[in-house]
Amino acid sequence: MFKNILKGLQAYSGGFALISKLKLWRYFAIPILISIIVFLVIISAAYGWSDNLGEWIANAWVWEWGKSAFTTIGTIIGGLVIIVIGLILFKHIIMALSAPFMSPVSEKIEAYITKSETVTSRNTTFMSQLWRGIKINGRNLIMELVLTIPILLLKFIPIVNIFSTVLLFMVQAYYAGFGNLDYTLERHFSYRDSIAFVKKHRGLSIGNGIGFLLLLLIPIVGVILVLPLSVTAASVSTVKTLNPEHKELQS
């Protein structure tokens, strides 16, 4: 799996050049706008709810001794919960709504790598691509929340909370990469077969997702570039996995 994680990360190299060479920037205009709007809405909500959640957690401590310390911890954990859930919602919303715009990008990258003018694909429309994106990301959202909530509870346990942070990051990365890989997979596989493919190539999904999350750490610019670069990287790595004979990208 470690090899596939590196493969997913390495696919980010040359992303800018490939987007420019294939003149793909125009396809990202609406998805970038969607990213900015969703990001601003989630940040506004997080700002308004973080204090309330922190106070609610602090009220769980009914004793006077240690009240101040638990209140501080509760506020920190409340803020972390808001950030994590906000990030989960952000990535699944933008990936679901951007699906019809990202599919052509993935298709052009596949045609370029395989040196084919036409790409063999399933018959899909704008609405079917949108529904596929909503279905995949809706499923992933539920799965991610089911895994994330118990991991967040581990934050209350000293020492263990260090490992839970790494685990939380990996879960976030896996589902971020999952959504990006599906822009290519939707042309080749059914809904269930795509899930099976990603499970078989977990490392590929995690590697792409790590790049996705690291891009979001870049203030402002990250929100703008996260979809163009992560989708391009996911398309490259997925196409090469589907077509192992094309190991090297054309120069």
Taken in order 246, 15, 17, 19, the sign of the CA dihedral is: positive
Both tokens assigned to 24: 């793909």
d(CA 210, CA 200): 18
Q: Where are the domains of the chain?
A: 2-242
pLDDT digits (tens, 9 = 90+) for 74-86: 777 777 777 778 8
Distances from the Cα of 99 to the Cαs of 114, 146, 181, in angstroms? 22, 24, 11
pLDDT digits (tens, 9 = 90+) for 2-28: 899 999 999 999 899 999 999 999 999
What pLDDT does residue 158 have? Answer: 73
| Average pLDDT of the residues of the chain | 86
Are 233 and 208 a contacting pair, CB within 8 Å?
A: yes
Higher-confidence residue of 104 and 62: namely: 104
Distances from the Cα of 170 to the Cαs of 139, 166, 179, 205, 241, in angstroms? 18, 6, 15, 10, 21
Q: What is the 3-state secondary structure (H, E, C) of the chain?
A: CHHHHHHHHHCCCCHHHHHHHCCCHHHHHHHHHHHHHHHHHHHHHHHHHHHHHHHHHHCCCCCCCCHHHHHHHHHHHHHHHHHHHHHHHHHHHHHHHHHHHHHHHHHHHHHHHCCCCCCCCCCCCHHHHHHHHHHHHHHHHHHHHHHHHHHHHHHHCCCHHHHHHHHHHHHHHHHHHHHHHHHHHCCCCCHHHHHHHHHHCHHHHHHHHHHHHHHHCCCCHHHHHHHHHHHHHHHHHHHHHHCCCCCCCCC
Q: What are phi and psi of 65, to 5 degrees?
A: -70, 135
Are 170 and 203 a contacting pair, CB within 8 Å?
A: no
Q: What is the mean pLDDT of residues 178-199?
A: 94
Distances from the Cα of 95 to the Cαs of 32, 88, 196, 198, 230, in angstroms? 11, 11, 19, 16, 11
Higher-confidence residue of 131 and 73: namely: 131
Q: What is the mean pLDDT of residues 45-54?
A: 70
Both tokens assigned to 200: 């078989």
What are the residues whose beta carbons fall under 8 Å from the beta carbon of 125, sequence distance 6 or more? Answer: none
Model confidence at 43, pLDDT cuts 50, 70, 90, reads confident
Judge whether residue 72 has pLDDT over 60.
yes
